[in-house]
Amino acid sequence: MKENVCQEHQHKLGLLTERSVSILEIKEIHQNLLIQHAAISEDVADAIERNDYVNLSHLLVNRSKIRSAIKEVESLHEAELHSPDSMNGRICKALKDAAATMESKGEDMLSNVINNLDKCNQTAGNFVTRAISISNKTLSKGNQLNHRAGKLLIRRTSEGLDKLADIIQKRS
């Protein structure tokens, strides 16, 4: 009897919903779900950086479940959760909504950046390979020309010394 009177008093104060769960508990559950969502979002970013697609898949499934739970709590208790508590509460909600939107767009942008960087790396690799090939051919050709010039110089010097020896021999 005493418990029933206490529940009626809390219901009159607006602390209990139809399911005998206080609004404070609902707000706490909602806040915990939002915290879990943020934590999983950070884990998703880490999994993307580590290229751990198995873990990423599990995290995305869990994040989807948490989003569903958040939407369910918000749809069932929209009036209680979004009552004009304070200006800070409304600012926090707006910031969280903006963060969620930016997160999904950020993942798309990150994917585009990664793809573009891969293409740049491939192009740079191709340029380096071509430059090395051209340098190799140029050095090889230069070595061949240097070898020919050296042989020509030795032959001409030898011929000149031979002629000089003949001239010296004729005069003596």
* pLDDT at residue 16 in the model: 45
* pLDDT at residue 140 in the model: 92
**Rounded (5°) CA angle 141-144-147:** 150
* pLDDT at residue 84 in the model: 53
CA distance 54 to 116: 23
* pLDDT at residue 143 in the model: 92
* pLDDT at residue 137 in the model: 93
* pLDDT at residue 20 in the model: 65
Burial of 66 (0-12, 13-18, 19+ CB in 10 A): buried
The segments of the chain whose pLDDT lies below 70 read 1-20, 79-90
Q: Classify residue 20 as left (phi > 0), alpha (psi -120 to 50) or beta.
A: left
Burial of 150 (0-12, 13-18, 19+ CB in 10 A): exposed
* pLDDT at residue 112 in the model: 86
Evaluate whether 80 touches 26 at the Cβ level (below 8 Å).
yes
